[in-house]
Amino acid sequence: MNKIKFGFLSLVVALGLVSCNGNDYEYTPAQEAGQYNFGFVGEKNLVLAMTDTEVQVTLNRVDDTEEQTIPLKVISAPDFVTVPETVTFAQGQKQAVVTLTLGEEMTPCTTYQIQLVIDEKYTQPYDAEKAQPAVYDFTIYKEDYELVANGTFESSVAWKGSWGVSVEYSEYLNLYRIPDLIADGTNYYFHFDQDGETQEFWFTDASGSHKTAFESGYVHPSYGMMITTINESYPMGYDEDPSDGNYFYWVWKVSVSAGSFGENYQYLTVEWLKKPWEENTEEE
């Protein structure tokens, strides 16, 4: 009797399966991730002029056989940044540029971060060899630095010798900058003003805050980052000498984690293209 019941139930289940298979269901496959290969290209830190109201972002694709429009998503951005919702590639075009609009609320000399992303279905996230950057994480920064002098830096501690440098000035910050003084990518900043015989001269960070210790940007192979520390107990300032030229002078100590390389005067001789402090005095 149990065998008969089991056989009857098996038959019912089998008929049910046949019945289900007989229904006309339409199946639409999901979009395959990685069917297209789009990505971002460009710098990670964008420096803009004070008057700039736009910033351009470049996207790249591999297959340019047809026109395509893809959505552009924002992970994070300041409120004053307007990002288009889509970007269109024309047929035969492997790169497209999208323009971000910047509002008046953007404060100069302030770093802002923006993160954009391309939806996964337009990228190849699971193929490390073919994948392009699908997330664009970058910063924007407005400044008004301009070249005001060419010069020569002379060091007698650690990096003994002399080499050419440039000096830039920001009217907005009333601040001077020496790009790449010791190492590429590391800038030194200082405040300077002169009214007759009265001078103001001190080193600062990028925002203009008074500071005395700085990472030089140079990494010693055995001891790590080399630090320069301004010793303000010694005379420091600017001098214009008919025989020695125009030069800034100060004392700094160069040190690493293991100790000091010594302390001595440093000299920055300059040939002015213009003297900002004189122009500021005339404006007043």
**pLDDT 10s digits, 152-190:** 999 988 888 999 999 999 999 999 999 999 999 999 999
Using alpha carbons, list the distances in angstroms from residue 135 to 39, 124, 131, 138, 187. 8, 12, 11, 10, 29
Of 143, 174, 202, the position where a domain reaches its end is 143
Task: Output the pTM of the full model.
Answer: 0.79
d(CA 191, CA 246): 17
For the chain, give the percent of residues with pLDDT over 90. Answer: 72
Which among 87, 141, 94 is positioned nearest to 116, based on CA atoms?
87
Model pLDDT, residue 2: 44
The total of other beta-carbon atoms located within 10 Å of residue 100's CB is 19
Mean pLDDT throughout 199-226?
96
Same domain, 273 and 230: yes
Q: Is the pLDDT of residue 23 over 70?
A: no
The first and second tokens of residue 171, run together, are: 């009217």
Model pLDDT, residue 24: 53
Backbone angles phi, psi at 34, to 5 degrees: 90, 10
Would 6 be classed as within a structural domain? Answer: no
Of 106, 124, 143, the position where a domain reaches its end is 143
Same domain, 96 and 80: yes
Model pLDDT, residue 219: 95
Same domain, 158 and 234: yes
Of 126, 143, 160, the position where a domain reaches its end is 143
Same domain, 44 and 73: yes
Would 3 be classed as within a structural domain? Answer: no
